[in-house]
Amino acid sequence: MNKLKGILLTQGMHGMISQVEGLAKALDIDFTHHTVELNNFWKMIPPKFTPISQSVYKKIDKTDFDIIISCGRKSVIPSIHLKNISKKKVFNIHIQDPKVNFNHFNLIVAPEHDAIKGQNVISTKGAIHYLTDQEIIKNKDYLNSFIKKDQRKICSLILGGPTKYYDYSSKNIKNIFYILDDLLRKNDFQLIVIPSMRTPKNSIDLAKEYFGENHTIINSVDKKAYLSALSISQNIVVTCDSSSMISEAALTGKPIYVANIPPKRNDKRFQKFRNLFRELNIIRNLGEEEENWNYQKLNETHRVAKIIKQKIYS
């Protein structure tokens, strides 16, 4: 039986790419990824006030597909339009709340903390993503040539970046480093700092300045370094701005500390996500009394893919 063909639509951000590619891989489909570009006027207009028309977005040169997986506000209208004009039956899935009538999609996959409900809604604990146990294990030794050769256990800091909710000011980042340094000293940890696509260069420079030569700072985005760090770390610290990276780290089953930043605006939705993960015994706040704890590895991507396969092939 030939694999189904899919197109993935996102705005090009890491968290969105991780979600659509993770689901596509779990569904075992052949796919191409397309970064959506809206035409100027429509960039500022919410999807519910936008016509379902080619005039809204720059044309996507792909006509042969069975499945559309979209994520993010800008991909809502292109997903609906491409489904509507296709000459064959197309199954479209949107990740996150599309903020339009849910009936435009066969399925919507959204985290519990978004609190949306519907007959075609699948709720997830945290974000689905593209990481797998196999990938993490495969890249275990990648950081061997980077880290200091000593007997210290490894702790990794996964850095996100500034958002409309959280400010990566020098003051906020140094405060995280100060609390983290206490954890490192008490447990004789070697630190590995892993930046993401959103991490400002200034934050990486501050890490080098603060932790000096005794720890390992990765200078740029490196997926293999990220996977290797997840594999070899005893404890993982993730900044609070990235629900995606906290969800990815939860695949390891290892203790995760969340490095908090004071919010610039109401971050109730993110707090709900973190409260859920705390109830699941996955996270603690950085600065709480250190301990080791266990939880069942979280692999929502695999669970969701099983449900979707049943609906597609039934």
For the cut 90, the answer to whether the pLDDT of residue 49 exceeds it is: yes
Question: What does the angle CA 43 – CA 46 – CA 52 come to, to the nearest 5 degrees?
Answer: 85
Name the E strands within 215-286: 216-217, 235-239, 256-259, 283-285
Helix pair angle (14-27, 300-313), 10° resolution? 50
CB 291 within 8 A of CB 256: no
- Mean pLDDT taken over the chain: 95
Question: What does the angle CA 57 – CA 131 – CA 17 come to, to the nearest 5 degrees?
Answer: 10
Phi then psi dihedrals of residue 192, to 5 deg: -120, 125
The pLDDT score that the predictor gives to residue 1 is 62
Could you report the per-residue pLDDT of 9-23, keeping only the tens digit for each?
999 988 899 999 999
- Average of pLDDT values for 78-94? 96
Give the other-Cβ count within 10 Å of 147's Cβ. 17
Fold of the domain spanning 133-285? Rossmann fold (3.40.50)
CB 238 within 8 A of CB 198: no
Which residue, 281, 280, 279, 267, is CA-closest to 239? Answer: 267
- Single-letter amino acid code for the residue at 249: A
* Residues ≥6 apart with Cβ < 8 Å to 122: 107, 108, 109, 110, 304, 307, 308
From CA 77, how far away is CA 53, in angstroms rounded?
8
Residue 265: HSE in the Cβ half-sphere, 13 Å Cα cutoff:
5
Pick the CATH number of 5-125+301-313 from 3.40.50, 3.40.630, 1.20.120, 1.10.3470: 3.40.50
The pLDDT score that the predictor gives to residue 151 is 87
CATH 3.40.50.850 residue window(s) in the chain: 133-285
From CA 257, how far away is CA 176, in angstroms rounded?
11
Rounded to a whole number of angstroms, the distance between the first and last alpha carbons of the chain is: 15
For the cut 90, the answer to whether the pLDDT of residue 2 exceeds it is: no
Could you report the per-residue pLDDT of 126-183, keeping only the tens digit for each?
999 999 999 999 999 999 999 988 889 999 999 999 999 999 999 999 999 999 999 9
CB 258 within 8 A of CB 285: yes
Could you report the per-residue pLDDT of 215-272, keeping only the tens digit for each?
999 999 999 999 999 999 999 999 999 999 999 999 999 999 999 999 999 999 999 9
For the cut 90, the answer to whether the pLDDT of residue 306 exceeds it is: yes
Phi then psi dihedrals of residue 43, to 5 deg: -65, -30
DSSP 264: S
Q: How many helices (H) and strands (E) does the chain have?
A: 9, 12
For the cut 80, the answer to whether the pLDDT of residue 314 exceeds it is: no
Q: What is the pTM of this model?
A: 0.90
The pLDDT score that the predictor gives to residue 213 is 85
Place of tokens 């016509």: 51
Could you report the per-residue pLDDT of 284-304, keeping only the tens digit for each?
999 998 888 999 999 999 999
